[in-house]
Structure 1
Amino acid sequence: MPTSKSNRAQTLRSLVQLLVNTSEVVIKEWEAEEQHPQPDDHLASSLPSHQLFEARRIIVAACGMCVDLVEDPRIRLQELSETFALSQAFDTTVRAGVPDILAEAMSRSASVSATELSQRTRIDEKKLVRLMRFLCSGGLYEEVKDLHFANTRMSGALAGNPPAQAFQLIYGTKAVIEPLAYLPETLLDPKMTSATSATESAFQKAFKTKQTLWDFVEGGDDSDEVVREIRQLFPLSMAGQTQLSSRSIVADFPWGSLGEATIVDVGGGVGSMCTELAKVFPNLHFVVQDLAAAIEQAKSYWKAEDPKALGTGRVELMVHDFFKEQPAKGAAVYLLRCVLHDWPDDDCVKILTRLREAMAPDSRILIAEMIIHPPLGSTQLKSAPTPLPANYGRASLMKGMHDIVMLSSLNGSERTPEQFVDIASRAGLRTEKIWECRSPVSITELRL
């Protein structure tokens, strides 16, 4: 970031010009969309064109850099210190059903008064107005006339979408918030700062336990609010996570070139990713692997989503612990979607080693996870145009946030390309290619 006023002025001019040019790409995409309207659920499931995805990243990065150039640092830092107030205020309204209430009114081309919102949410009207006006300033709602509110694109994305709501809310649970509060204390503790085990993270400090997050929830009781929240939200939140990235995973890797192949979804939960692939690629077969509780849920899930798949044998549900020997030998693809980020490097090496032992010469492992792009760039990832940071700056912020959540909760990690190369090499594998997808998640392909 330039420091002298003359350099700042030149950078600001460059950013404004970049915004002008890139905005035209977005406007043309919008005009094309008006010619071909999408279904009502388009916002939750749409896949941008490659041009629109790139333009979005550039605009978000450029706007963020403009703010950093012109804002008083003291105000910016104060906002940073109180950012949690924004997320907690919004989560309060989501828990109270505000996006759904406003969407219902929108179908009648109406807004909702603060009085009605208060009555339906049972939140004190004066306090609710304070929340709503605060969130309007953050672009999450709109006050269309005095004390009458409506959804924006942001809150509207959650309306009538329980999986997206669960994915939003899970990051406001005590299981996530409390470890983050203990992160400074943990990292500044000489005894814990270099710890890599999932049993030596900020989560253990926060809840005074020696158990991992997952063991804590699995062995806990529903009378414990921490346990109850995660149990209630986590299964549905994973479907919300699938909405965020599944379309790009399906579209941006050449699954069709595999022919009649078997995909083993390792740690796949109920198999929501496989249902998306099954809709598009009829020649693919699937093995969904997870622990017993998830596989029990998967039986009901597949009966509802694709009952023929289980009956014909196209989909097999298998109880499996990915730290143990892989029973599905020689599959074309072993898919790890949002698995490795839960685990420290040494555990990731163990997981990958079990898969390597089961692979055939032409097998591959596909790791579908967020990839951390360093600010100075990576030779394996596309860099942003100047004067933006190589990693698209503000457009990469969410990935970094998620990385810190993994650190505080599990000593897990979202990884750079170089870090994926390292753990793959330690497991006796090589990195073939990184497939950059049109979502926060990309695919890292590993081979023997």
Structure 2
Amino acid sequence: MATTSGTLNGAVDVAAQEPTNGIETNGVEHIVDESIAVKPNAINDVPRLLEDIASNGEALARDGAQNRRQLLEAARSLVYALETPRESMIRFCWSQSTVFAAIESSIKLGLFKALSKDDKPKTAAQLAETTGAEPVFLSRILKHLGAMGVINETGPDTYKPTNLAKTLTIQKYADGFPCMNDCISAGIEKLPQWLEKNGYKAPSDGKNCAMQIGFNTDLHFFEFLATNPEYPVRFMNHMAAYHQGRPSWMDAGFYPVQERLVKGLDRDAPLLVDVGGSTGHDLAEFRRKHPEVQGQFILQDLPEVIEKAQTLISPDIKAMEHDFFKEQPVKGARAYFMHSILHDWPDNKCQEILTNLAQAMKPGYSKILINENVIPDTDADWQTTSLDIIMMSLFASQERTERQWHALAESAGLKIVNIFTAEKGVESLIECELA
């Protein structure tokens, strides 16, 4: 990666290229000592983090996986604290893009399937013969996958699968990697360019954000998905994998279904209307987890989605074509439910969606249930903040804080009466009523 231009023995002439390392404040330049680049980021935090890891490790052994996330966060924080700024910079710049390329190439090659046929170690030569890949090339890919913890290295050019490698043989999980390259990553990569051009303010138009630059299109994200039949399939598989294993508002102890939804139910009115509910997976989950709840269930989405949904849903769910930017045809339902709908749209469009629902609600009876992320004021989860940057880049939308949710609800004549949250980094259930 070095250049020999104008230098001795191939070394880069750093002094000639290096910019001033000062920070200017009120006309006074403060020099940043470059030695911090090779010192740990937060060495003083290490003893406390080691204590946290020891404590959480003992609890994990004693109580099972209940505190696994706390242990994982402490371990991750320890790595960040021990890492030097130079190491952090190189990790961000080099490892993430290269391991992504290695994983996607391995998925398409069938490498993980070949490696995961059994738990016996396999050499690069054996895997090259199975997959048809050029041996020297495959050895390089395998070394990087091993270095990044995607697979286990057991000897020279010899590897075994991890649980991650085995999971990547399942289409739902494997599709996340081509999905990102198909319709997501290029938009994120162009966010700095879009922000610089537009004065560093968040975009507010889904047809004028980084996505259009990244994919050289004037289409909205959802319109772009429709340009290739593989795109929506991979996107939906990626979303399904994202939701796998996460607490659901329908689980016991999350949202009091009997108390807040079933009690006082008017049997002549629909119980639950899933607005923009795709092929009905949420309603199917509700019926499975609460078979004792009787009522009318309605699934709403665009015609092409409903056509597919009708072949998948059970007879007790009514499929209905509906555009949520238009008047809501179902009046006075007990609850109108939306799962990860509003984060796709900027505030003005969300206001339209919510206003259409508010106008269909029965005062003192109907409610809106919004299943979305609520970003906390402190200690936000990296998954949620990552998704927020993705939504900014692709949709000119966002993941919202509690204050932003209240403001949005009030703009449509609603009030938030409860926010139910199971754990950090998991979508909450926001319960709204007419103001």
TM-score normalised to structure 1 length: 0.78
SS in structure 1 of the partner of residue 222 of structure 2: helix
CA-CA distance at 1:87 after TM superposition: 2.1
Select the residue among 413, 421, 434 that pairs with 2:398: 413
Distance in 1, matches of 2:103 and 2:137, equals: 13
**Change in CA separation of 1:301 and 1:68 when aligned onto 2, cut-off 3 Å:** same
Q: Flag the structure with more relative contact order, 1 or 2, with Cα contacts below 8 A and sequence separation at least 6.
A: 1
Bigger Cα Rg: 2
Structure-to-structure mapping, 1:35-434, within 5 angstroms? 52=66, 55-82=67-94, 83-106=96-119, 110-159=120-169, 161-166=170-175, 168-169=176-177, 171-190=179-198, 193-218=201-226, 220=227, 227-245=228-246, 247=248, 249-251=250-252, 252-257=254-259, 258-259=261-262, 262-282=271-291, 283-284=293-294, 285-302=296-313, 309-310=314-315, 314-360=316-362, 361-374=364-377, 377=378, 390-391=379-380, 396-434=381-419
1:195-242 superposed Cα distances (whole Å, 9 cap, x missing partner): 301011111122333321112333x3xxxxxx3441341343343344
Distance in 1, matches of 2:358 and 2:211, equals: 31
Distance in 1, matches of 2:43 and 2:84, equals: 15
CA-CA distance at 1:434 after TM superposition: 1.9
Q: Is the 8 A contact 1:87 1:172 kept in 2?
A: no
Q: Is the 8 A contact 2:247 2:426 kept in 1?
A: no
CA-CA distance at 1:99 after TM superposition: 3.4
Equivalence for 1:40: none
CA-CA distance at 1:289 after TM superposition: 1.0
Distance in 2, matches of 1:364 and 1:179, equals: 36
Q: Percent identity?
A: 27
Distance in 2, matches of 1:139 and 1:412, equals: 34
Q: Is the 8 A contact 2:121 2:158 kept in 1?
A: yes
Q: How many residues align?
A: 384
CA-CA distance at 1:281 after TM superposition: 0.9
TM-score normalised to structure 2 length: 0.80
**Change in CA separation of 1:442 and 1:103 when aligned onto 2, cut-off 3 Å:** farther
CA-CA distance at 1:372 after TM superposition: 2.3
CA-CA distance at 1:155 after TM superposition: 2.9
CA-CA distance at 1:158 after TM superposition: 3.5
Equivalence for 1:380: none
Distance in 1, matches of 2:178 and 2:167, equals: 16
Equivalence for 1:13: 47
Distance in 2, matches of 1:155 and 1:299, equals: 35
Distance in 2, matches of 1:204 and 1:96, equals: 30
Aligned CA-pair RMSD = 2.6
Q: Is the 8 A contact 1:249 1:437 kept in 2?
A: no
Structure 2: which 5+ runs fail to align? 1-35
CA-CA distance at 1:322 after TM superposition: 0.7
SS in structure 1 of the partner of residue 384 of structure 2: helix
CA-CA distance at 1:78 after TM superposition: 1.4
Structure 1: which 5+ runs fail to align? 31-47, 221-226, 303-308, 378-389
CA-CA distance at 1:337 after TM superposition: 0.8
CA-CA distance at 1:445 after TM superposition: 1.8
CA-CA distance at 1:321 after TM superposition: 0.5
Select the residue among 61, 70, 73 that pairs with 1:27: 61
Q: Is the 8 A contact 1:91 1:172 kept in 2?
A: no
Distance in 2, matches of 1:271 and 1:321, equals: 16
Q: Is the 8 A contact 1:212 1:410 kept in 2?
A: yes
SS in structure 2 of the partner of residue 430 of structure 1: strand
CA-CA distance at 1:272 after TM superposition: 1.1
* AA in 2 matched with 1:157: T
Distance in 1, matches of 2:429 and 2:141, equals: 39
Distance in 1, matches of 2:40 and 2:312, equals: 60
CA-CA distance at 1:8 after TM superposition: 5.0
Q: Is the 8 A contact 1:256 1:281 kept in 2?
A: no
* AA in 1 matched with 2:82: V
SS in structure 1 of the partner of residue 394 of structure 2: helix
